[in-house]
Amino acid sequence: QSWFRKGLEVPTTALMEIFWSKERILEVYLNIAEFGNGIFGVEAASHYYFKKSAKNLTQSEAALLAAVLPNPIIYKVNKPSALVRKKQSWIMRQMNGLGLNYLKEM
């Protein structure tokens, strides 16, 4: 990223953290994040890769989508590298640590 863009992101991020909850920030990010070439948002990614709605993803599928962020062009959902699988496992451990109620709320 350019220094100009980084300069714009700092105050924007600060304002978001003041006015939005962490959950809202995560929700917005997941709705605009790129998950592949022309695939934007977790719902579109869920349908593209798993042929189902995001609300019906398994824990493993949800963790795999999260594992390719922030660079799904290099880290592929449909051809996950060992690094992506390692990140997926770490994310699943974090999810388990938060408990099943956390998954139901999201």
Domain extent, residue 55, equals 33-105
Whether 78 is covered by a domain: the verdict is: yes
Whether 99 is covered by a domain: the verdict is: yes
Task: Look up residue 35 and give its two tokens.
Answer: 């998950």
What does the pLDDT look like over 21-79, one tens digit per residue? 988 888 888 899 999 989 999 999 999 999 999 999 999 999 999 999 989 889 999 99
**pTM of the entire structure?**
0.77
Whether 4 is covered by a domain: the verdict is: no
Number of domains in the chain: 1
> HSE-up of 13 (CA within 13 Å, CB side)?
8
d(CA 44, CA 41): 6
Q: Judge contact between 67 and 88, C-beta under 8 A.
A: yes
Whether 47 is covered by a domain: the verdict is: yes
